A and B are shown apart, each in its own frame.
Chain A
Amino acid sequence: MKIRFLIPLAVFLVMTAFLAIGLKLDPREVPSPLIGKEAPKFSLTDVMDASKAMSTYDLKGDAVLVNVWASWCVSCRQEHPILIDLAKRGEVTIYGINYKDTREEAQKWLRSYGNPYHSSAFDPNGHTGIDWGVYGVPETFVLDKQGVIRHKHTGPLTQAVIEDELLPIIRKLRGEP
């Protein structure tokens, strides 16, 4: 058989490979340049208590999750039971950044659906969100003991993401100095 007749087949296979990869890629999943860098500094207040300060310093010491959320965010509502469940297991401390919200709405939200967060920083104008490269709440960051961002998950958490993606990283980070 002549090699020429194989060319259309080769072209077809290459295109199929490209399209198959393209199908699996999620254009929403933008790699964060912040991974491997120290978490961007903020000094805000606790969403539950305006007189209580909260800063990046509070996030250091142990591998933790930082979850960016808002009461107006529909997907946050969706992932919320999973966070509550994770908090109950006590395997990892969860901090929150309350993004572009009002204090009243945020407090109401936590009261009615439960509060999985050790504490949440109140970021009403979204400056801290921008510093952290947030573009679509909910977003979840994994920080190591030194407060360096080691992983980021964009979009609502699922049980599978927690078990297969976040907890293995947390356990690994616990083993580091």
Chain B
Amino acid sequence: MRIMLLLMIGSLVAPLLGAVEVREFDDLEKQTRYEHLLKEVRCLVCQNQTLGDSDAELAKDLRDEIYSMIQSGQSEEEAISFLTDRYGDFVLYRPPFKSVTWLLWVGPVLFILAGGSIAFWPKRDKQRQANPKELTDEERLELDRLKRRID
């Protein structure tokens, strides 16, 4: 029973251990830079994974490249431009605001505005009810007659 439990826990933990290799840095600041970067970049092979999570061969190679860049003292921006020069802005989870990406950034706001304007558009029917047209003399007589009937 205990062995079964250990195996079950092991099977849960194993994938977490297997995915990404352990890196050693001579500087803690470099390690944070490296780890932050891996969360900002998409893996091109498994597009819904970050570069840090992906087990793809290419992701591993790119981690190697980034590791040696960061280790040699290069900045996060330099590593990012290394990647975007080759793979385009698509690899970034937060692409820069450009002529080709503006719709991506502004789109949600436009949708909210469009939805909001439909929801809060002044309703013409109710307006009409609030300001009824003046009754004609004939109609007023008819109204009085009806009111009297109720009394």
Does B118 make an interface contact (CB < 8 A)?
yes
Does A133 make an interface contact (CB < 8 A)?
yes
Give chain A nearest CB distance to B64 CB in angstroms: 9
- Is there contact, CB below 8 Å, between B85 and A33? yes
Inter-chain CB contacts under 8 Å: number: 39
- Is there contact, CB below 8 Å, between A30 and B44? yes
Report the separation of the CA atoms of residues A130 and B84 in the bound assembly, to the nearest whole angstrom.
11
- Residue of A32, A33, A126 touching B61 (CB-CB under 8 A): A126
18 A–B pairs (Cβ distance < 8 Å), ordered by A: A28-B47, A30-B44, A30-B87, A30-B88, A31-B90, A32-B87, A33-B84, A33-B87, A33-B88, A100-B57, A125-B61, A130-B61, A132-B86, A133-B87, A135-B45, A135-B58, A135-B87, A136-B45
Kindly list chain B residues whose C-beta atoms are within 8 Å of the C-beta of A100: 57
Kindly list chain B residues whose C-beta atoms are within 8 Å of the C-beta of A131: 86
Does A27 make an interface contact (CB < 8 A)?
yes
Report the separation of the CA atoms of residues A32 and B86 in the bound assembly, to the nearest whole angstrom.
7
Does B80 make an interface contact (CB < 8 A)?
no
Report the separation of the CA atoms of residues A139 and B144 in the bound assembly, to the nearest whole angstrom.
87
Number of interface residues of B (CB under 8 A): 16
- Is there contact, CB below 8 Å, between B44 and A32? no
Query: Given A7-B118, A126-B61 in contact, is the A133-B86 Cβ separation under 8 Å?
Result: yes
Kindly list chain A residues whose C-beta atoms are within 8 Å of the C-beta of B62: 130
Report, nearest first, the 4 A-B pairs whose CB atoms are least far apart.
A135-B44, A133-B86, A33-B88, A30-B90
Report the separation of the CA atoms of residues A7 and B121 in the bound assembly, to the nearest whole angstrom.
12
Report the separation of the CA atoms of residues A126 and B59 in the bound assembly, to the nearest whole angstrom.
12
B-contact 0/1 string along A123-143, CB 8 Å cutoff: 001100011110110000000
Report the separation of the CA atoms of residues A125 and B90 in the bound assembly, to the nearest whole angstrom.
24
Does B21 make an interface contact (CB < 8 A)?
no
Q: A33-B85, A131-B86, A135-B87 are in contact. List 8 more A-B contacts (CB 8 A).
A: A30-B44, A31-B88, A32-B88, A33-B86, A100-B57, A130-B61, A133-B87, A135-B58
Kindly list chain B residues whose C-beta atoms are within 8 Å of the C-beta of A125: 61
Report the separation of the CA atoms of residues A8 and B79 in the bound assembly, to the nearest whole angstrom.
47
